Chains A and B, each alone.
Chain A
Amino acid sequence: MQISILHKAFQQKPVLGKIQFELNTGETTVLFGPSGCGKSTLLRLLAGLDIEFEGELTHRETRLGVVFQEPRLLPWRTVYQNVAMVAPDKSARIEQLLEETGLQNVAALEASKLSLGMARRVALARALIIEPEALILDEPFVSLDRERASQLRLLLLDIIERYKLKALLVTHDPYEAVQLAHQILVMGGTPSKLQQRIPINLSAAERRDNTLIAKVVNQFFDRPG
C-alpha cells in the first residue's frame, strides 16, 4: 500500500508537504509528531474523508477499518448493534470479535453508557468486523488512564499480529510508538513533512517487555524516564 502526498493546503495555507511511505502486511507504521503537525489531516486524506490534495494513494478500493480519536458510536444503539451495523450479516463473527475485544459482557449495553475505554474497544471491534486490509487509528489511547491504555495497546498488538493487518497509528506518545511500531515516521515543520524514519526491530515478546521498551524509548527520543 503506497502513500504519496505531495501537497495539501487549507485556504491557500500549506499544511502538508511531501510525505511518502508504504504500509506492509502485519506491520504497524506510527505517525509521530507534536499536536497540530498535520497527523490527523493526513489520516483524513488516507481515510478518503478529504480528497482535495496533490498526490496519489494506491488504496482507493482497499477495505479500511478506521478508528477515530472519538469513538463515534451511535449512542442510541447497543454495542452489538454498533458493530453489526457496518456488517449486517456476520453474526457469528460479531460474537467472536466482541469476545476478543473483551466486550462480551456489555454487548447489550447502549453505547451512550460506556466508558471511553470501552467505547474505544467497540470502535476497534467495528473496524475489525469489516475484515479490513488496513487499520487506521487516530490516537486510540489518548485520555485513557495508564492501566486502560496499556491493556488496549496489548489488545491492539495481539490483533494486528493475529490478523496480519497493515496498521497505521497516529500518536504523540513515544512509548506507544515504540511498543507498537515497526517503523516510526516523525512528522514536523511547516508545512509538515516526514523528517525521519526510525525502524523498530523488536520481536513479539520484546514488545510486551515494559523495561525493554522504556530503554528503546530513551535511546531514540532522549527523554528521561
Chain B
Amino acid sequence: MAAFAPTELLPPPWQVFERIYDEISSGELVYHCMATLGRVITAFTLAMVIGIMIGLVMGLQKAIGRFFDPWLLLMLNLPALVIIILCYLWVGLNEVAAILAVTINKIPNVAVTLREGAKALDRDLLEMARCYRLSKRTTLTEVIWPQLTPFIAAAARSGLALVWKIVLVVELLGRSNGVGFQLHLYFQMFDITGILAYSIAFIVIIWVIEYAAVRPWEQHVNSWRKA
C-alpha cells in the first residue's frame, strides 16, 4: 500500500487527527481559526448590511435599479483576486484592506438576491397597508420585513460559503495569521498533513455555524410558507 500512496502525499487519517490534536494542544489551531473566524464574521456582517440596503433601493426604485444594474453586473463578475490585490495595493497590507476586499466581493451577491426580494414584494399587501393607514414603521416591520427574510436567509447561506473561501485567499496573500496563512506556510513546507488538519478543522467550524445558526433561522422565517 505504502508504495502506491506515499504518506507524504496522502497521509492516513490518524496522522491528520493526531496533528489536529497537537495543533489544538499548542494553541496554534485555535489562534488561527479565531483570526479567520473574526474576519469572516466582520466581513459577512458588513456585506449583509450594505448589500441589503443596496438591493432594497435597487429593487424598490426602478430608475436607480436600472442605472446601477451594469455596475452591479461588473462587480458580480470581477474576479475576487483582482479586488483583493487592488485593495492591498490601494489601502495597504493591513487588516482594513483584508476585510474591505472580502466585503466588496460579497456585496454584489447580497444586493442581487435582495433586489429580487424587493421586486417580489406582494403589492396587494402594500395596498392593504396603505388603505388601513399603517405607519411607515409598521409597514416595514410587519408587512415588508417578513417577506424579505427568506431572501436574506438565502443570501446569508450562499454568503457564508463565499466569504470564508475568500477570507482564506486574503490571508494567504497578505496576512500573518489565520487559516489561510497557515495553509500557505504548510504549502511552502510541503506539509500535507498540516494542510489537511487545518482544512478539516475549518470545515467543522462552518458545519457548526450552518447547522446551529443558519438552518434553524431559515426554517423559522420560512415556516409560514408551508401552509
User: What CA separation (Å) do A49 and B130 show in the bound complex?
Assistant: 8
- A68 near B128 with CB under 8 A, answer yes
Bound CA span A75–B132, Å: 17
B125 & A76 in contact (Cβ 8 Å cutoff): no
Decide: B132 and A77 in contact? CB cutoff 8 A. Answer: no
Contacts of A9 in B (CB 8 A): none
Nearest CB on B from A21, distance (A): 21
* Docked-complex contact B146 and A86, CB < 8 angstroms: no
- B138 in the interface (beta carbon within 8 A): yes
Of B132, B134, B224, B227, most buried by chain A (CB within 10 Å of CB) is: B132
Q: Which of A48, A76, A85, A86 contacts B224 (CB 8 A)?
A: A76
**Secondary structure type dominating chain A contacts:** loop
- A168 interfacial contact with B, CB 8 Å: no
Q: Are A110 and B134 in contact (CB under 8 A)?
A: no
Do A49 and B127 contact each other (CB < 8 Å), given the known contacts A85-B142, A86-B132, A86-B134?
yes
Partner of B134 from A66, A70, A72, A85 at Cβ < 8 Å? A85
Main secondary structure of the interface of B (DSSP, over half): helix
A209 to B209, CA, bound (A): 65
Q: Which of B198-227 contact A (CB under 8 A)?
A: 223-225, 227
By the criterion CB–CB under 8 Å, are B224 and A75 in contact?
yes
**Is the beta-carbon distance between A113 and B227 smaller than 8 angstroms?**
yes
Contact-residue bracket for chain A? 10 to 19
B124 contact set on A, CB distance < 8 A: 68, 70, 72
Task: Choose among A48, A49, A74 the residue that contacts B125 (Cβ–Cβ < 8 A).
Answer: A74
Are A110 and B132 closer than 8 Å at their CB atoms?
A: no
Pairwise interchain contact B132-A74, C-beta atoms closer than 8 A: no
**Residues of chain A with a CB closer than 8 A to B142's CB:** 74, 77, 85
A157 contacts chain B at the CB level, 8 A cutoff: no
Closest to A123 in B: B128
Pairs across A and B, CB under 8 Å, 21 listed: A48-B130, A49-B127, A49-B130, A66-B128, A66-B131, A66-B132, A68-B124, A68-B128, A72-B125, A72-B127, A72-B128, A74-B125, A74-B142, A74-B146, A75-B227, A76-B146, A76-B224, A77-B142, A86-B132, A113-B227, A130-B132
Closest 8 CB pairs of A and B: A76-B224, A112-B227, A86-B132, A72-B128, A66-B131, A76-B146, A75-B224, A72-B124
